[in-house]
């Protein structure tokens, strides 16, 4: 019996390996350097150099292994040095063109849905749904993005964000003690989430907010989960949590409609409900409100946390930042004027610190796009159906773009206009680009500016050792613990 089982096992293994080799030969043929462009059948054009790795797995295991390391860009840099700034690979189940060329990445980001559409893991697309602003394309995406972008740029919302941010920051800091560690990552997540939810659906702290926080934690845990939707699975639990949150938002939408929607929008729901195109259904609005809460949990808090991390390791930068903010605070107090949103954004070195944090932190490592047709960029060929991974991290940490790229150096941005920092440069894309440029980039800067101002003018601190984890999302391994000491002139300010 044992010999029979062994024979069957050997035969099965032989058949399996034969099938794998046949598939691998076809796989290599598919990924070979030549293919026929549909619009020019007589021309043979070259794919970028590179390797598709193992059958089925591609190079995903090595990519993920490097992503978890202290140098997550090592996977990309190794191939960039071997094949060039643009190369082919096979990661996350798809043949992929990886771009570390700023101009190529800009072209991809600025292309419309006829050329490239977003590409995300299956678990994320199931959680977001087909109507998510992250996934929809064409005129509907442009309309929603335009409406939200215009509202986020309004002085009315910036004034509201400033009031709310100051309130929640001061409430949080009033509870800090010098005999217990303060976990900056936790504190900033709690503050930023409340500020963003207020801007989205006008929900204040209370029972509903606590319910929303709890369900949101359950929801976001499934973004990078195994795409199996059965009762008890991580994805299933996250989907159920989203349904509960959507139900709460739908209740808020219905209450707004019953009381009469104001022409002067107080939040993003008002903006979308006031749209006259009839494209934006209540379900679509409710779904997108949940998706848009993600920056309040992820990117904005990490921007503030990483700024504290880098400042803790750079006493000279901290000294200049403190001096700038203390002097400005003194001037405003002598004039008897509170700081408004434009004041926070006017402090040059503060903005340089935020910009350098965005460059070094790479909270968004890159974005994935799927080619909807054969595309040629700078002599590189991208076949229809392939993905393009525009890898921002390698561009931001390229010594050819930034001297001492791995050094925290806010002074490198002196004399650079704020608008230029966020939009103009191909070499600086922390907020993405093109039609999907993050509409909340101004608000992210504003929130970080307010937090830094109140933090450094009220406290001195010592940071415990902590490390940055870069995969699957950027975060601090120990949640950035610090020990604070309240400055003598800050007691009055923290009382609310």
Structure tokens at 172: 């949080």
Q: Is the pLDDT of residue 327 over 60?
A: yes
Each residue of 452-484: pLDDT tens digit? 999 999 999 999 999 999 988 899 999 999 999
Residue 390, strand partner residues: 99, 367
Number of domain units in the chain: 2
For residues 351 and 433, membership in a common domain is answered with: yes
Q: Do 88 and 146 belong together in one domain? A: no
Helix spans in 412-462 (H): 418-419, 441-458
Q: For 294-319, write each residue's pLDDT tens digit.
A: 988 889 999 999 999 999 999 999 99
Rounded-to-10 torsion of CA 71, 72, 73, 78: 80
41-50, 56-65, 104-113, 305-314: segment of lowest average pLDDT? 41-50
Does a structural domain hold residue 358? yes
Domain of 273, CATH number, reads 1.10.630.10
Give me the domain span that covers residue 55. Answer: 30-129+364-396
3-state secondary structure of 226: coil
Q: Please say if the pLDDT value at position 341 is more than 70.
A: yes
Which H helix or E strand runs over 465?
none
Residues 72 and 188 in one domain: no
For residue 484, give both structure tokens.
């604070």
What tokens does 442 get? 């101004």
Instruction: Let me know whether 472 and 354 are in one domain.
Output: yes
209 and 357, same domain (yes or no): yes
Residues 175 and 112 reside in one and the same domain: no
- Same domain, residue pair 233 and 339: yes
Q: Are residues 275 and 375 in the same domain?
A: no
Longest dimension (CA), the chain: 93
DSSP state of 97: E
Are 207 and 222 members of one domain?
yes
115 and 145 within one domain = no
Which pTM was predicted? 0.89
Residue 35 belongs to a domain with what CATH number?
A: 3.30.43.20
The verdict on residue 2 lying in a domain is: no
Quick check: is 12 in a domain? Answer: no
């Amino acid at each position: 019996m044992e010999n029979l089982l062994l024979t069957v096992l050997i035969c099965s293994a032989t058949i399996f390996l034969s099938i794998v080799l046949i598939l691998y030969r076809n796989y290599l043929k598919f990924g070979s350097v030549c293919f026929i462009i549909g619009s020019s059948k007589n021309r043979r054009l070259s794919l970028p150099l590179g390797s598709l790795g193992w059958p089925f797995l591609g190079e995903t295991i090595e990519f993920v292994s490097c992503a978890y390391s202290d140098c997550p860009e090592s996977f990309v840099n190794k191939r960039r040095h071997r094949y060039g700034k643009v190369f082919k690979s096979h990661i996350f189940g798809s043949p992929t063109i990886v771009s570390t060329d700023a101009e190529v990445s800009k072209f991809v980001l600025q292309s419309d849905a006829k050329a490239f559409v977003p590409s995300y893991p299956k678990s994320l697309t199931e959680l977001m749904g087909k109507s998510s602003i992250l996934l929809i394309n064409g005129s509907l995406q442009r309309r929603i993005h335009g409406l939200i972008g215009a509202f986020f740029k309004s002085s009315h919302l910036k004034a509201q964000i400033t009031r709310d941010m100051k309130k929640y920051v001061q409430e949080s800091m009033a509870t800090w003690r010098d005999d217990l560690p303060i976990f900056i990552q936790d504190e900033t997540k709690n503050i930023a989430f409340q500020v963003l939810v207020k801007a989205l659906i006008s929900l204040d702290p209370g029972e509903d907010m606590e319910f929303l926080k709890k369900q949101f934690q359950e929801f976001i845990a499934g973004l990078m989960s195994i795409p199996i939707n059965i009762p008890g699975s991580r994805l299933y639990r996250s989907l159920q949590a989203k349904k509960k949150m959507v139900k709460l938002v739908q209740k808020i939408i219905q209450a707004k409609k019953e009381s009469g929607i104001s022409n002067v929008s107080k939040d993003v729901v008002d903006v979308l409900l006031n749209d006259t195109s009839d494209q934006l259904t209540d379900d679509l609005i409710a779904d997108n409100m949940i998706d848009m809460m993600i920056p309040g949990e992820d990117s904005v808090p990490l921007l503030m946390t990483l700024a504290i991390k880098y400042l803790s390791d750079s006493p000279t930068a901290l000294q200049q930042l403190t001096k700038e903010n203390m002097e400005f605070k003194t001037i405003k107090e002598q004039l008897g004027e509170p700081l408004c949103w434009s004041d926070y954004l006017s402090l040059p070195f503060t903005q340089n610190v935020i910009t350098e944090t965005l460059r070094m932190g790479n909270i968004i490592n890159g974005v994935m796009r799927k080619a909807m047709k054969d595309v040629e960029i700078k002599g590189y060929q991208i076949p229809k159906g392939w993905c393009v991974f525009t890898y921002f991290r390698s561009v931001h940490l390229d010594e050819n773009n930034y001297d001492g790229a791995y050094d925290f150096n806010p002074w490198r941005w002196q004399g650079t206009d704020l608008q230029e920092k966020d939009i103009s440069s191909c070499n600086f894309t922390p907020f993405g680009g093109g039609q999907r440029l993050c509409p909340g980039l101004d608000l992210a800067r504003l929130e970080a500016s307010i937090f830094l101002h109140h933090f450094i003018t009220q406290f001195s601190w010592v940071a415990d050792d902590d490390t940055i984890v870069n995969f699957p999302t950027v975060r601090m391994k120990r949640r950035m613990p610090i020990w604070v000491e309240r400055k003598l002139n800050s007691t009055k300010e923290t009382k609310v």
